[in-house]
Amino acid sequence: DVKVTQSSRYLVKRTGEKVFLECVQDMDHENMFWYRQDPGLGLRLIYFSYDVKMKEKGDIPEGYSVSREKKERFSLILESASTNQTSMYLCASINGGNSYEQYFGPGTRLTVT
Amino acid sequence: QKEVEQNSGPLSVPEGAIASLNCTYSDRGSQSFFWYRQYSGKSPELIMFIYSNGDKEDGRFTAQLNKASQYVSLLIRDSQPSDSATYLCALGFSGGYNKLIFGAGTRLAVHP
């Protein structure tokens, strides 16, 4: 079974802090994704990566950056956390090729106060 | 217009009934369609995918795809209280990178 893990289930940070969310997958997947999920808005893509050190902006990249130094690890960085970044953050991975079947991590519920 | 539209619900059905969840989309280039189930406080899990027009059955679940009309639906037969969850429709982005575009989800409540 594919396993996608995220560094924290719950996180509370203060406004202005730099926040790191980490995601690790153990299936040698090519592509990894970061989403945020808010009530009524569904899943919105923040950033994704299709290879080591390669990244692409999603639909809502403002206020975020990412890092992918190793194939199995994809980090989401909130440069200066703000209260409107309070959300559920979900990481997903996929093998690439013709597959679109994304596997999700358990999610990190981030609260910025 | 959103790229993937779903009725937010809640859709309330009695136990044992058929639950019908619908989704419309605007990207005519999309070739693959997915249904994810998400329990409250949990992450989405893939339950069905469909690539061709018509029906695809898997146990109590049937996915239906009509590309000409740009809709995809999920039928759940013999609904159980354990099916109560939010169901997310997603389609494979035709522009590459194996991206998925998600709808906002329909909340299903199955009552005994």
- Are A100 and B43 an interchain contact pair (Cβ–Cβ within 8 Å)? no
Q: Considering only CB atoms, which chain A residues are within 8 Å of B102?
A: 35, 42-43
Is the pLDDT at A70 greater than 90? The verdict is yes
Give yes or no for B32 touching A (CB within 8 A): yes
Q: What is the pLDDT of residues B75-104, one digit of tens each?
A: 999 999 999 999 999 988 766 677 888 999
Give yes or no for residue B9 having a pLDDT over 80: yes
Contacts of A50 in chain B (CB under 8 A): 97-98
Summarised one tens digit per residue, pLDDT across range A84-100 is 999 999 999 987 666 77
Nearest to B33, CA basis, from B58, B56, B59: B56
Tell me if A42 and B104 make a contact (CB, 8 A cut-off).
Answer: yes
Residues of A in contact with B43 (CB under 8 A): 90, 104-107
Residue B1 is predicted with a pLDDT of: 56
Would you state the pLDDT for residue B30?
Answer: 81
Distance separating alpha carbons of residues A75 and B52, to the nearest angstrom = 35
Residues of B within 8 A of A105 (CB-CB) are 43
Positive or negative, the CA dihedral B41, B45, B51, B57 is: negative
Q: Residues of chain A with pLDDT > 90: what percent? A: 78
Per-residue pLDDT tens digits for A12-31: 999 999 999 999 999 888 89
B17 Cα to chain A: minimum distance (Å) = 26
A2 or B28: which leads in pLDDT: B28
What is the average pLDDT score of chain A?
Answer: 92
pLDDT of B10-62, one tens digit each? 999 999 999 999 999 988 788 889 999 999 989 999 999 999 999 999 999 99
Helix (H, G, I), strand (E, B), or coil: what is residue A50?
strand
Residue A87 has, within 13 A of its CA and on its CB side, a CA count of: 22
Hey, are the CB atoms on A42 and B103 less than 8 Å from each other?
yes
Q: Residue for token digits 């703000």?
A: A82
Residue pair A25/A93 in contact (Cβ under 8 Å)? The answer is yes
Confidence of residue A1 (pLDDT cuts 50, 70, 90): low
Which pLDDT belongs to residue A86? Answer: 98
pLDDT at site A94 = 87
A100: nearest CB among B34, B43, B103: B34
Residue A102 has pLDDT above 70, yes or no: yes
Name the residue among A2, A29, A10 with its Cα closest to residue A104: A2
Asked if the C-beta of A45 comes within 8 angstroms of chain B's C-beta atoms, the answer is yes
